[in-house]
Structure 1
Amino acid sequence: MSSTATQPRYSLNRKVAVMGYPHVGKSSIVQRFTQNMFPDRYETTIEDQHTKHHTAFHRDFNLRVTDTAGQQEYTVFPRSCSLDVAGFLLVYAIDDRKSFDICSSIYEKIISVYGDPSIPIIIVGNKCDLGTQRVVQQEEGKELAKQCEAKFVEITARETNRVNEVFELLLREIEISRGNLRGPPQQQTKEQTSSDPNDPKNCVIS
């Protein structure tokens, strides 16, 4: 009688960073993903490192998530993001025009530091539950992502599933870029809408 030993699963180490203008909800997104919680009050972030074990695509990941301090001009690139970051979430708030306008500058900084325009980046429009306060339209976010050759999502950090989908999308892009997954990922747009402009279902992942 013979037996076949089960191969142990090993975890892939991946470092990702969340960048963007101040007050766009970067920490809320990170805490929702890593701790499944939504902070009830705003605290200025200096810089935080979070870890999470996450399973996706039949793979186990040890994720290190860098929650960067928001900068108004991004004249200095965060030192912690200058090495070994596999992918970025570039976050703006749909109710803050300045936070959207600065995304192009942050993107250019990332490309300048890494010298690789193909590094995985997801453009994230946060706070899509604040529909009546929207000043940045979805089409603008999609156009920015197209210019950056990045994926685009709109989410609210209040919804766990949405936030998880964003990180899994980033992980998928990372693994495709490394040849560990076949790509491209699904191209269709996932969009749910309701008659209430404040309904978080009025968010999009494309």
Structure 2
Amino acid sequence: MPPPRERKLAIMGYRSVGKSSITIQFVDNQFVESYDPTIENTFTRQIKVLNQEYKLNIVDTAGQDEYSLFPVSYSLDIHGYILVYSVTSAKSFEVVKVIYDKLLDMVGRIKIPIVLVGNKTDLHMHRKVTTDEGQKLAQTWNAIFLETSAKDNLDVQEIFKKVILEMERQDGNLPEEKKCIIS
């Protein structure tokens, strides 16, 4: 069996959208009820995707807003990005668009491996951003889209599997996914 491939991911989004909750759910299989604003944490976990082990180093970033300056470290040696918004916050959805634009400017490439995540689906009665809006945004970015609930552990593992597959695809290690668009 080949040695694990090391990959570094950054999880980014507006404050209190659940970036840390998603990360801790993925790494430790637990949901943390209390909210403690993150400055920046790095987590490590191994995961197997398509018979290949990956050692993921996940940079859980501080919440960004439209005026945040990104540290250069968010573009160095990062293989993929998870951009998170809360389905209960239109503001977080707008901010994730700004983060994406800043990311493209900083990285200097047109195509980067991104998974767009609408979190907090367990709070469906407070929903402000529709699934359709999230899907359309991801489509314009040519990104993967998922909705999740870190609290209910809904598709949390899937987020990380999808970003790995997208990184491998863009590195030329996987064939392009065939997409059928019906309008």
**5+ residue gaps in structure 1?**
1-7, 189-206
Distance in 2 of aligned mates of 1:68 and 1:50? 11
Counterpart secondary structure, 2:44: strand
* TM superposition outliers: structure 1 runs of 4+ over 6 Å: 185-188
Larger mean Cα displacement after TM superposition, 48-57 or 153-162:
153-162
**5+ residue gaps in structure 2?**
none
Distance in 1 of aligned mates of 2:61 and 2:165? 22
Change (3 A) 1:55 1:186: farther
* Alignment size in residue pairs: 181
How far did 1:110 drift?
0.8
CA RMSD of aligned residues (A): 1.7
Matched, 1:111 2:104: yes
Larger mean Cα displacement after TM superposition, 79-88 or 51-60:
79-88
Distance in 1 of aligned mates of 2:148 and 2:180? 18
Q: TM-score, normalised by structure 1?
A: 0.83
Counterpart secondary structure, 1:123: strand
Counterpart secondary structure, 1:61: strand
Q: Which has the higher contact order (CA 8 A, sep 6+)?
A: 2
Q: TM-score, normalised by structure 2?
A: 0.93
How far did 1:185 drift?
7.0
Q: Point out the structure with max Rg over C-alpha.
A: 1
Q: Percent identity?
A: 40
Matched-pair contact (CA < 8 Å) for 2:47–2:55: yes
AA of the residue aligned to 1:118: K
How far did 1:161 drift?
5.5
Match of 2:90 in 1: 97
AA of the residue aligned to 1:72: D
Change (3 A) 1:81 1:98: same
Q: Deviations over 1:151-175 (max 9, x none)?
A: 1111101243510011101100001
Matched, 1:172 2:161: no
Matched-pair contact (CA < 8 Å) for 1:48–1:66: yes
